[in-house]
Amino acid sequence: KTKEVDKLKEFLGSQKAFLSWKLDGLTIVLTYKNGVLEKAVTRGNGEVGDVITNNAKTFKNLPLRIAYQGELILRGEAVISYSDFEKINAEIEDPDAKYKNPRNLCSGSVRQLNNQITAERNVKLFAFTLVKAEGVDFENSREKQFLFLKEQGFEVVDYIKVTPDTI
């Protein structure tokens, strides 16, 4: 995480890398077994999170079933677009009740007891890390992992391949 190009070039050395957006939402860990979404949890405090499986099933772009039949675990960022954030805030009359930013709105949305509210808020998930896909050899390639996730129906965070000369 840096905003300084020179520091990033120094970090890369002679290596290639993927440069991607740092989305400001809520990290979600998803587990699929036998091709079915089994569990979704928030990152919480890093050790214990909230189980939000029923709400995750309402995310606009999240596949509930995938072709891969092994255990698949991935991390993604749940986000609400600025346009949806502004639309939701416009419907709230009390200025003190308005949401401060899309991240806070998303965080509250995925923890709703009524998943219909979550569904109405157009939460989307962008995968950014493949944690486990048993039996699949990705040859230590992040790109192959992203392509695999796309093949399963996930949207992945936008990324671009870079070298120190092309940043």
Active site residues: 22
Taking residue 147's Cβ as centre, other Cβ atoms within 10 Å add up to 13
For residue 30, give Cα distances in angstroms to 73, 82, 98, 110, 132: 6, 24, 30, 13, 10
| 72: DSSP letter | E
Mapping DSSP onto H, E and C, the string for 91-119 reads CCCCHHHCCCCHHHHHHHHHCCCCHHHHH
Q: What is the C-alpha to C-alpha distance for residues 48 and 35, in angstroms, rounded to an integer?
A: 25
Backbone angles phi, psi at 154, to 5 degrees: -90, 145
Residue 158: exposed, middle, or buried by beta-carbon count in 10 A (0-12, 13-18, 19+)?
Answer: exposed
| Residue carrying structure tokens 């401060």 | 100
